[in-house]
Structure 1
Amino acid sequence: MRALPGAGTVCDTAGVTERSRENRHPTGRGPRAGSVSAASRAVRHRRLAQHALSHNISDMNRSVPTDSQVSLDAIVGISDSDLMISQPYRLYVERLDPSRNMARYYAMSIEPNLFGDICLLRKWGRIGTKGQMMVHHFGQEEDAVRLFLDLLRQKRKRGYRPRPSLPKEKWPAEAEHESATSAPVPDPEGHLDLDEERNLDGEL
């Protein structure tokens, strides 16, 4: 706008009209094609970026517990059977001799650990005390069962017997295992008396 003496203010529309004319299509129907194509490219790039981002999030990090749409953390195919053993061997026996002030317990179990190994857990001590514990790791369940049966034979020969059934609340804290193996114990072939061949359990 410019002021004219004695004529008030007059709008200078010539420049605005000229710029509008330059930005319009030669036919006079709308903006030039160059400005339209630039805007279209910007929108297209933005949509492609959003699609790529959502695609990456969907393919990575899927986890049902943390997202109902399964958009985080892919699920690892591990079934419960991968960590199971064929027969859960468990044993709890005691050796009591009042004349010698002897009251000992011995517990064993075969269980898998989180890394897929088979473990033989042994726990022993005086009844009413925390006692000691030892864990043996095996790659095959058969090896763990073999040692379990060897130690069972040894304990029977030393006078260990299953504890008589008592109410649960009267059992010592160490009696966390059942009083007998969960499956019949087969008679292993050959002579496996550890008291004569070797002493793997000299602590008792």
Structure 2
Amino acid sequence: MDTPTHGSFIWLEAVCAERNVARRYTVALSRDLFGASIVEFAWGRIGTRGQGRVVSFTSEDEASRFASQLLRRRASAPKRIGVPYREVALTP
């Protein structure tokens, strides 16, 4: 996965009926009204409300590094949950 930039929205899903896995994960990068970089990420079972967090950074580089770190963790899903995440939507 590429390094996310401002205005990016990434939607990932991991689905496997045999393992009863139906997970989603989203990451969005943007700016707030004061110019701070915002990383919003949410996760949960597909079809449920799930959970989410918003983290603010003073630098765009810090926000991109944080988002990349989140996506690297999702890339290790086959080892952790036995099912890989696939990209459902990506907006540059």
TM-score (norm 2): 0.80
More helix by share: 1
Does 1:116 find its partner at 2:35? yes
Cα gap change, 1:102 to 1:92, in 2 (>3 Å): same
Structure 1 stretches of 4+ moved >6 Å: none
Aligned twin of 1:149 = 68
The number of aligned residues is 82
Once the two structures are TM-superposed, the CA of residue 87 in structure 1 deviates from its matched residue by 3.8
Identity of aligned residues (%): 34
Once the two structures are TM-superposed, the CA of residue 160 in structure 1 deviates from its matched residue by 1.0
- Structure 2: tracts of 5 or more residues without a match: 78-83
User: Rg: which structure is higher?
Assistant: 1
Q: Which whole-Å deviations, capped at 9, do the CAs of 1:122-148 have from their partners, x for residues lacking one?
A: 011111111111011100010000011
CA RMSD of aligned residues (A): 1.5
User: What aligned pairs does 1:129-168 form with structure 2 within 5 A after superposition?
Assistant: 129-158=48-77, 159-163=84-88
TM-score (norm 1): 0.38
Aligned residue for 1:154, secondary structure, equals helix
- Higher relative contact order (CA closer than 8 Å, sequence separation 6+): 2
- Structure 1: tracts of 5 or more residues without a match: 1-85, 164-178, 183-204
More strand by share: 2
C-alpha separation in 2, matches of 1:117 and 1:87: 11
CA contact (8 A) 2:14 2:23 kept: yes
